[in-house]
Amino acid sequence: MKLRNTLKAAAFAMASMLAAAPASAILLTGWTGTGNYGTLGADGDVTLSPFGDSQYGYVTTDGGVSGVGLPGVGDGDGGSPTTGSVITSPVFAANSGDSLEFYFNFVTSDGAGYADYAWARLLDADSNEIALLFTARTRDDGGDTVPGFGMPAPVASLTPGSTPIVGGAPNWSPLGGDSGSCYDTGCGYTGWVQAAYNIGAAGDYRLEIGVVNWNDSAFDTGMAFDGATIAGQVIGEPTEVPAPAPLALLGLGLISLWLSRRKAR
């Protein structure tokens, strides 16, 4: 009876330690990029994503480079892209009908006629565009950021379906010196939005995420992202935080107690 109670107490302690173990952190293994990108934990107005990682990825125009805008996208208002950043996932295999899913949070300190934009694209293994999943850009009228003014309609499904900006000067360190600043109407962040897209044909693909300044390089913009999966499997490898050493020792102790009890019988 005493042994049974001891085992119960030990099992409860193990369960408690497992529950307290930290979540995995996104690691951009195999992802390649240009400009300024990286990983970050909860920071200012950008919380951790609903996916449950202890970090998220991001791209930002702060420290960006020229030549990363999308040809023909956003040109309807007479402006042009300037500097930005882009990151691309490693190649992943997908079957027809597989669901590509991820979360994003669009954050901008720019607005009015200088509204920067971000995007996500599905590419083939040779980096040819298969689908422009969505573009994000603010609007003077305060409407949905996806699509913003002068931008194409998304082909990915979004949850929530409405993507208005949470207005005001956003506080987020990837914006660099523009964190906490705002130019005219349209500044703010969307909060986390889930994008989903069903793959049309079996093959090898990449996911591209980017952001670019518009008409000038002042007042920066960025996009956080997390939880990129294909058919429920993480694209790239997450960093699994190892279980605490006491947890492993507790497990060995339970096994030893059980074996001792068996021998005694």
| 110 HSE (CA, 13 A, CB side) | 26
Is 248 a member of any domain? no
Tell me, rounded to whole angstroms, the distance of Cα 60 from its chain centroid. Answer: 13
Is 101 a member of any domain? yes
Question: Could you give the dihedral angle defined by the CA atoms of residues 212, 215, 219 and 222, in that order, rounded to the nearest 10 degrees?
Answer: -10
Is 5 a member of any domain? no
Domain count across the chain: 1
Q: Three-class SS of residue 263?
A: helix
Is 75 a member of any domain? yes
The CATH number for 182's domain is 2.60.120
Parent domain of 148: 22-242
Number of other CB atoms surrounding residue 222 within 10 Å: 32
Could you list the beta-strand ranges (E) of 13-128. Answer: 32-34, 36-40, 56-60, 65-66, 81-88, 92-94, 99-108, 117-124
Is 14 a member of any domain? no
Tokens found for residue 220? 């920066």
Is the pTM value of this prediction over 0.75?
yes
Per-residue pLDDT of the chain (265 residues; tens, 9 = 90+): 544 554 444 444 444 443 443 456 777 889 999 999 999 999 999 999 999 999 999 999 999 999 999 988 876 666 889 999 999 999 999 999 999 999 999 999 998 778 899 999 999 999 999 999 999 998 877 788 998 888 999 999 999 999 999 999 999 999 999 999 999 888 999 999 999 999 999 999 999 999 999 999 999 999 999 999 999 999 986 444 444 444 444 444 544 544 455 455 5
Is 15 a member of any domain? no
Tokens found for residue 68? 């990363």
Is 133 a member of any domain? yes
| 192 HSE (CA, 13 A, CB side) | 18
